[in-house]
Amino acid sequence: MTESTETFPPGFLWGSATAAYQIEGAVREDGRTPSIWDTFSHTPGKVLGGDTGDVAVDHYHRMRDDVRMMADLGMSAYRFSVSWPRVQPTGRGPAAERGLDFYRALTDELLAAGITPSLTLYHWDLPQELEDVGGWPARDTAYRFAEYAGLVAQALGDRVELWTTLNEPWCSAFLGYGSGVHAPGRTDPVAALRAAHHLNLGHGLAVQALRAALAARAPTPARIGVSLNPSAVRPLTRSAGDLDAQRRIDALANRVFTGPMLTGEYPADLLADTAHLTDWSFVRDGDAQTAGAPLDFLGINYYSPAVVSAPTADTAADNRRDGHGPSDHSPWPGSESVTFHQPPGELTAMDWSVDPTGLYDLLMRYAREAPGIALMVTENGAAYDDKPATDGTVHDPDRIRYLHGHLAAVRRAMRDGADVRGYFLWSLMDNFEWAYGYSKRFGAVYVDYETQTRTPKSSAQWYGRIARTGVLPYPMLDD
């Protein structure tokens, strides 16, 4: 079989992904209260250009048209997130039915269009009221998250089969509470570690709550997972110092979550690396085992690998080139001195290197470390400086090449034994890109932010053909 006729198996999910705060807008409608991202984006200097998600791409009002667009493009699945402050405005207590009604309507539209709904409970929009009493560094937030998970499952468990607890808890913990480049913008390394643990605990408690609620609601057995953004960490050289740098970052980027979630315990080297910061007494007996509640699938979000080394005199000044945005504070507690290097080769508009081998390596790693758990690529994509041509079309050959390489890596991993069940392109359409505001475009669909007009890019048409046929061709850049 040649690369030009690579075929994916029947039943493979071909989808796209979004997040509530990035697309919905309508931040003050139907009882929704502020999330930490509302507060953060309205704080001067936190988001490029002073952009906010107040309107975003107005998906809240254009949802039905957006679902029709997905169907027209041939997508068989859609991964969306629920806005916690839209369905439980204070982060505690009963659900707001008006908020749930939006997600009921969205799910019904997807099912009517033959699109599998894939629901993510948490994509970074913690209710501000919960942050005000401690946020994720506070243990109670884990229990509030489990309560919220049960409310959503009771409302949508009869029509949603795929459930994801957390999206990229690394970003929530270490960018939100360590480097401060994400909401809520705190810069306390111990708070970041506490947040990581309570995200783990909240995940496990939410899995329990979902299974209890879905057992009574789901017409077919629901599948529950989590979406991590594990890093393909590579040493600059094979020196002892660089290998230790790789180990340190692997512990903080990957094993701080996969340890509890997959094995029910934290890695000993992580505890040792951070012992000068905390004794981890916030971890109570049984917590890690709770975090290890059985999963049906593990979601992998991948964009680019990381290259690290031990600090040296000529590279120490660049030790924050980790791709996560500038800050005077590190998101790597206990390993702040590790130096990150820009890999050679092609870069996206985020200055992230294009390297599909990192995705292949991660899929094979977790195929080994999580046998019996299905894998899904729950985010993969690239930002480029897309601009409409004079005739209104938007051609993005760089994105097509990026997607082709990474889809080929997924198929190679499947041939080599990885049980990959689906692929979700990030993102369906251009949107609010967190601290970068509207300056970076990841979408397969171009959005004119002034008119909210949607224009599928060449990559959307190209990806749609693959979704309909399951066949991966060479990129047809002029088609």
Active site residues: 168, 379
> How far is the C-alpha of 297 from the C-alpha of 304, rounded, in Å?
22
SS3 state at 206:
helix
- For tokens 């992580």, the residue is 270
Query: Among candidates 136, 139, 118, which has minimal Cα distance to 127?
Result: 136
Q: Copy the structure tokens of residue 383.
A: 């930002």
Give the containing element (helix H, strand E) for 336: none
> How far is the C-alpha of 83 from the C-alpha of 120, rounded, in Å?
9
SS3 state at 414:
helix
Amino acid, res. 436: Y
Amino acid, res. 135: G
CB 81 within 8 A of CB 149: no
Query: Among candidates 438, 398, 376, which has minimal Cα distance to 79?
Result: 376
**How many Å from the N-terminal Cα to the C-terminal Cα in the chain?**
23
Q: Copy the structure tokens of residue 377.
A: 């690529």
Amino acid, res. 320: R
228 bridge partner residues: 300
CB 442 within 8 A of CB 55: no
CB 334 within 8 A of CB 387: no
